[in-house]
């Protein structure tokens, strides 16, 4: 009963806040008929931004907006492309589609962007990645081979990880393995290490895979649940595989 009264009080307070600050009246309907979800959304989208200089508040708002309206960036990108058919705007649409996992739709935009102007390193990498995600692996490798070699170490390692994934997909495991091992020592996170371990397991190199997974385990212990974030399933996979190897 106390919880119910508290919820009603919060609803009333937020409705008053909507009226007082002249917010969109649709919030009132949401607060009445979807009290829990809309209360959380209103607090993050409308109330917390009053503390907009706080980085954590900005990140929380972005996550909520993404959940409520996942195609927001795509609409904005398409509107910009309607206004100006530039390479940058084509890439923006392609990036938004890729972020939504709509890889087959993204590929033509990347191809048109690359074909309508000189491709820089980042554009070429995105095009190659899109080809790879559309199971056009040989073409993806061809794009990487034709690109100018990156000078920055971070670019070299990021593209190296993509090349390793492509080589693995093509069955060229002897080339992929050392590349996974090399880039995993410099790239942030443990994606490269886990991919390296997975390939070692595929090749029945259990002892080597265990060494890599134990390194992932040691690094994971230093991370909080929040720091693991979207990569939590990857760390769960690593822990499960390591348990099998130890068993």
Q: What is the pLDDT of residue 63?
A: 61
DSSP secondary structure code for residue 148 in this structure:
P
Q: Quick one: angle between helices 206-221 and 232-246, nearest 10? A: 130
Three-class secondary structure of residue 140 per DSSP: helix
pTM, whole model, 2 decimals? 0.73
Give residue-wise pLDDT tens across range 25-38.
777 777 777 777 77
Q: Quick one: angle between helices 191-202 and 173-184, nearest 10? A: 150
Q: What is the pLDDT of residue 4?
A: 62
Q: What is the pLDDT of residue 120?
A: 79
Q: What is the pLDDT of residue 14?
A: 72
Contact 165, 136 (CB under 8 A): no
**Of 154, 87, 85, 158, residue with least CA distance to 119:** 87
Give residue-wise pLDDT tens across range 99-108.
999 999 999 9
Residues in the chain predicted with pLDDT less than 50, given as ranges, are none
Q: What is the pLDDT of residue 55?
A: 56
Calculate the alpha carbon distances from 41 to 5, 21, 61, 131, 224 in Å: 20, 16, 9, 37, 25
């Amino acid at each position: 009963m106390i919880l119910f009264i508290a919820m009603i009080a919060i609803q009333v307070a937020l409705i008053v806040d909507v009226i007082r600050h002249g917010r969109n009246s649709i919030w009132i309907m949401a607060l009445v008929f979807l009290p829990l979800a809309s209360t959380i959304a209103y607090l993050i989208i409308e109330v917390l931004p009053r503390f907009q200089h706080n980085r954590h508040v900005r990140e929380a708002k972005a996550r909520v907006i993404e959940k409520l309206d996942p195609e927001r960036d795509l609409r904005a990108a398409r509107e910009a492309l309607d206004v100006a058919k530039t390479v940058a705007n084509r890439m923006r649409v392609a990036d938004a589609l890729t972020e939504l996992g709509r890889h087959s739709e993204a590929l033509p935009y990347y191809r048109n962007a690359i074909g309508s102007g000189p491709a820089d390193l980042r554009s070429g990498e995105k095009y190659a990645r899109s080809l790879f995600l559309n199971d056009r692996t040989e073409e993806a490798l061809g794009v990487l081979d034709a690109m100018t070699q990156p000078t920055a170490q971070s670019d070299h390692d990021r593209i190296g990880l993509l090349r390793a994934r492509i080589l693995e997909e093509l069955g060229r495991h002897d080339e992929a393995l050392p590349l996974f091992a090399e880039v995993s020592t410099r790239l942030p996170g443990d994606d490269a290490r886990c991919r390296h371990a997975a390939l070692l397991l595929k090749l029945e190199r259990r002892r080597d895979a265990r060494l890599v997974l134990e390194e992932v385990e040691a690094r994971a212990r230093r991370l909080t649940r929040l720091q693991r974030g979207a990569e939590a399933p990857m760390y769960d996979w690593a822990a499960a595989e390591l348990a099998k190897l130890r068993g």
